[in-house]
Amino acid sequence: MSTLSIITVTYQSAEKLPDFLASAQSAASEAECIVVDNASTDRTARVAHQRGAHQVVISSTNVGFGRACNLGADCASGEWLLFANPDLIIESIPTLGQTNSRPFGLAGGWLSESGNPCKPSLRAEPTLAEEAIAQLLYRLIPNGISRFATQRRRPARWASGALLLCRRSEFLELGGFDPRFFLYFEDRDLAGRYRRRDFPLRLDAQLRGLHGHGESSSGVGSWVREAWSLVSWIEYRGIWHGAPAARHAARLTLSTLSTIRSLGELVHSDRAKKKAAEAAQIIAFLRAFEQHLAGMTGFYPFAGAALHDLFSDRHV
């Protein structure tokens, strides 16, 4: 049995997968490599087979990141699991021994993104104000505002799912990633449940990678990723703070997007019009999401209810 199973979740990732698998095999030649493909229509599954993946798990539908990771964990033979995005080049992996009776918890590593200096993948849990800036203003208005989007790393409370090491038995004991999330925030939620069990959060200097942030899936527009992040933020607020918190986050989201959309009609600049168009696209996405949620079994109960209430009460 392999000591380590490396799990990556793919969607339209054929271009990124060869480099990822080569780096995984170089960093840990004895590791089991598992590719879980979320119903890609490109050559992702074929490339996975050709480039040496030990298991290729093909989902008939796109079940999202967290559920696909759970599928990989269920199939894994290793005592340890390393979750890594397919747009990542794994540079080094720590030597792993046999499990013992002490809780291991979650281990984050050091990531370099887009040529920037290497930084730890651990993050602090932001305040509601910091979260609103990061989720709304930072993504949707001019770049000059980005300096206000705080990304504190202390006190470290969660580790990015882009490169995440854990003990398989603990991961399965805690239920894996929460299946209510389709994309984003599942790593923060997982860390919260580890903290609740008093399992530690670690930073391992030997776990390192080069991350092409947001490049896992070719052809997926940035505004689509922003929309999913907003839905997951609303759900996260509901799971950890209750339905009123989810409604508050949804109300803030729609108010901000509506304001940005309206400003595009008043401010005559290409940037303002682009941001207004993105805001309009996200509002339409959220409306369609709420209307078609019944077909997404088990996804986003808090976000779905909050958006339904708001779209029913107002014209957005």
Name residue 102's amino acid: R
57-66, 130-139, 299-308: range with lowest mean pLDDT: 130-139
pLDDT above 70 for 258:
yes
User: What is the structure's pLDDT at 117?
Assistant: 79
Strands 4-10 and 32-38: parallel
The more confidently predicted of residues 32 and 128 is 32
pLDDT above 60 for 107:
yes
Listed in order, the ranges of the chain carrying CATH 3.90.550.10 are 4-121+160-211
User: What is the structure's pLDDT at 165?
Assistant: 98
Mean pLDDT value of segment 156-161: 94
Q: Place 214 in a pLDDT band, splitting at 50, 70 and 90.
A: low
Distance between CA atoms of 71 and 172, rounded to whole angstroms?
Answer: 11
62-71, 147-156, 187-196, 305-314: range with lowest mean pLDDT: 147-156
User: What is the structure's pLDDT at 196?
Assistant: 96
46-50, 155-159, 189-193: range with lowest mean pLDDT: 155-159
User: What is the structure's pLDDT at 274?
Assistant: 84
Q: Place 186 in a pLDDT band, splitting at 50, 70 and 90.
A: very high
Instruction: Find, among 211, 7, 203, the residue nearest to 94 by Cα.
Output: 203
Mean pLDDT taken over the chain:
89
Cβ neighbours of residue 9 under 8 Å, at least 6 residues apart?
36, 37, 38, 65, 68, 69, 72, 85, 86
The model's pLDDT over 12-22, given as tens digits with 9 standing for 90+, comes to 999 999 999 99
Q: Place 77 in a pLDDT band, splitting at 50, 70 and 90.
A: very high
The model's pLDDT over 84-105, given as tens digits with 9 standing for 90+, comes to 999 999 999 999 876 677 899 9
Q: Place 30 in a pLDDT band, splitting at 50, 70 and 90.
A: very high
Tell me 184's DSSP state: S
Q: Place 216 in a pLDDT band, splitting at 50, 70 and 90.
A: low
Q: Place 215 in a pLDDT band, splitting at 50, 70 and 90.
A: low
Mean pLDDT highest for which of 72-81, 219-228, 277-286, 303-312? Answer: 72-81
User: What is the structure's pLDDT at 1?
Assistant: 53
Distance between CA atoms of 101 and 105, rounded to whole angstroms?
Answer: 12
Domain spanning 4-121+160-211, CATH class: alpha beta
User: What is the structure's pLDDT at 305?
Assistant: 94
Q: Place 247 in a pLDDT band, splitting at 50, 70 and 90.
A: very high
Q: Place 296 in a pLDDT band, splitting at 50, 70 and 90.
A: confident
Neighbour tally for 15: CB within 10 Å: 16
